[in-house]
Amino acid sequence: MASPVFVGQFEQIILTAVLSLGENAYGVTVHAKAQALSHPKSVSLGAVYATLDRLEDKRLISSWLSEPTAERGGRSRRHYKLERSGEQALRESASTAQRIVETIAQSWGGAAWKPKR
């Protein structure tokens, strides 16, 4: 069995964005989704590119270029999709986050605290 890949919080956000966008995951849409996910913090488009590159190097996502389109000045989109190892990493991160939420809820009392949406 392959050793688990550890991903940071921002990487988790980008992986989640790529997962939720499905076939429409490319720079601009991933940035918009990451912005929504990390609200109220703002996310820079450059940081999104750097993280997408890093996740691709870790083989958690893969990318391909689409056909050029006129609304992009005849340039292609680089689309991203989650690889199996990416899904695995995201699942592990989600489990950890779930355990953290449950532990905090137990300590502070379920009724007194609920994570912000």
Nearer to other proteins, 27 or 92 (CB): 27
Please give the Cα distance from 41 to 62 (Å, whole number). Answer: 27
Nearer to other proteins, 47 or 104 (CB): 47
Q: Which of 62, 63, 12, 61 is nearest to 37 (CA)?
A: 12
12-to-28, 59, 66 alpha-carbon distances in Å: 18, 14, 25
Which amino acid would we find at residue 49?
A: Y
CB of 76 to other proteins, least distance (A): 5
Query: Which residues contribute to the site for other proteins (CB under 8 A)?
Result: 2, 26-28, 44-47, 49-50, 53-54, 57, 59, 62, 65, 68-69, 71-73, 75-78, 84-85
Nearer to other proteins, 73 or 109 (CB): 73
CB of 8 to other proteins, least distance (A): 15
CB of 48 to other proteins, least distance (A): 8
Nearer to other proteins, 81 or 105 (CB): 81
**Three-state DSSP state, 83:** coil
Please give the Cα distance from 58 to 54 (Å, whole number). Answer: 6
